[in-house]
Amino acid sequence: MSASDWKNLPGGAAESLPPVTAVPSGSPETRPFPAAPTAGVVTQGGCQVCGRGPAQWFTVRRHVGMLLLQKFYKANALLCRDHAIPVVKEYLGKTLVQGWWGVISFFVNFVVVGQDLGQLVKAKKMPAPQG
């Protein structure tokens, strides 16, 4: 497995991971594991969409309730304020419409909506992107 096989990494981050080294047979294989993004860190890097900064990590969730089943969607992205607000609003809007249809989903949806509202507040507190 190469470093480019890691998912949810911003563009170019996979190339900065150390290569997987060969290990003697019989010993367990070790692979580098990318560190999780630090919560609340505003970077001067750039948004994954437009490249402007400051940007911040956002984790938005979407819940789809059905009578007997549920579906969960999750997106992790490094976004500026101008792109974070529409993404969070889109996920939140779909959750508010599709998340309530089921006995368990009715209660789970409150948690998902609360998490997305927290991400929306975080996005609105960010400074305007520059550049």
Q: What's the confidence (pLDDT) of residue 9?
A: 45
Residue 130 structure tokens = 């520059």
Q: What's the confidence (pLDDT) of residue 65?
A: 92
- 3-class secondary-structure state, position 65: strand
Q: Please, are residues 20 and 32 in contact by the beta-carbon 8 Å criterion? A: yes
Amino acid in position 128: A
Low-confidence ranges of the chain (pLDDT < 70): 1-45, 131
b/e for 72-88, b at 16 or more Cβ within 10 A? eeeeebbbbbebbbebb
Encode pLDDT of 77-88 as tens digits: 999 999 999 999
